[in-house]
């Protein structure tokens, strides 16, 4: 019997997968986000460099702004940490039974490493630098 992939949005939202579901979902969203940011940035920079296109510079200015970098940093850091956890669990299958503890550890690392630079970025931006 094949696995059905036709699941309605409502039943998808009702499914409670706990911490592992959240990291899976965030890994997917941040991965697609990085692909979108970096793909756009590469194409736009190419047009800016070759043809001096104004729209290209405008898009790159948005990309480099501190507000947008908060999202970029979230995506890159979360994807990196979660990917490391996944790779470690695949390399050492004994760790799979400690998945919940590893996710806790991952958030324990993520929260300070993410929030301290974001605090500095926001403070620098709002103080008029």
Partner 1 sequence: MRSVRPTRSAGSFEYGMWLFTRISGLALLLFGAISIGIGFLLGGRQYLSMPAMFRWMFFPNPNHVVNSDIPDVSLGWSNAFWQIYSMLMIFLATVHGFNGLRMVLEDYTERPLLIAFLRGLTMLLLVAGIIVAIYVILAS
Under rule CB under 8 A, residue 45 binds partner 1:
yes
Give Cα 52 to chain centroid, integer Å: 30
Closest CA to 64 of 82, 40, 85, 88: 40
**Six token digits for residue 91:** 């390399």
| Cα–Cα dist 26/74, whole Å | 10
- What residues numbered 49-78 form the site for partner 1, per CB under 8 A? 49, 63-64, 66, 69, 72-73, 76
Under rule CB under 8 A, residue 35 binds partner 1:
yes
Mutual angle of helices 18-51 and 66-91, in 10-degree steps: 130
Query: If you count DSSP H runs as helices and E runs as strands, how many of each does the chain have, helices first?
Result: 5, 0
Under rule CB under 8 A, residue 121 binds partner 1:
yes
Under rule CB under 8 A, residue 26 binds partner 1:
no
Under rule CB under 8 A, residue 48 binds partner 1:
no
Q: Which stretch binds partner 1 (CB under 8 A): 9-17, 18-26, 40-48, 101-109?
A: 40-48
Where does this chain bind partner 1 (CB under 8 A)?
5, 28, 31-32, 34-35, 38-39, 42-43, 45-46, 49, 63-64, 66, 69, 72-73, 76, 80, 83-84, 86-87, 90-91, 117, 121
């Amino acid at each position: 019997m094949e696995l059905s992939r036709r699941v309605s949005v409502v039943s998808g939202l009702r499914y409670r997968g706990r911490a592992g579901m959240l990291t899976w979902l965030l890994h997917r969203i941040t991965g697609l986000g990085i692909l979108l940011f970096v793909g756009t940035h590469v194409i736009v920079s190419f047009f800016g460099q070759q043809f001096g296109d104004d729209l290209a510079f405008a898009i790159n200015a948005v990309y480099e702004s501190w507000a947008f970098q908060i999202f970029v940093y979230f995506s890159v850091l979360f994807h990196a940490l979660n990917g490391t956890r996944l790779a470690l669990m695949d390399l050492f299958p004994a760790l799979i039974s400690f998945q919940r503890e590893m996710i806790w550890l991952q958030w324990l690392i993520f929260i300070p490493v993410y929030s301290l630079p974001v605090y500095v970025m926001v403070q620098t931006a709002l103080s008029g630098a």
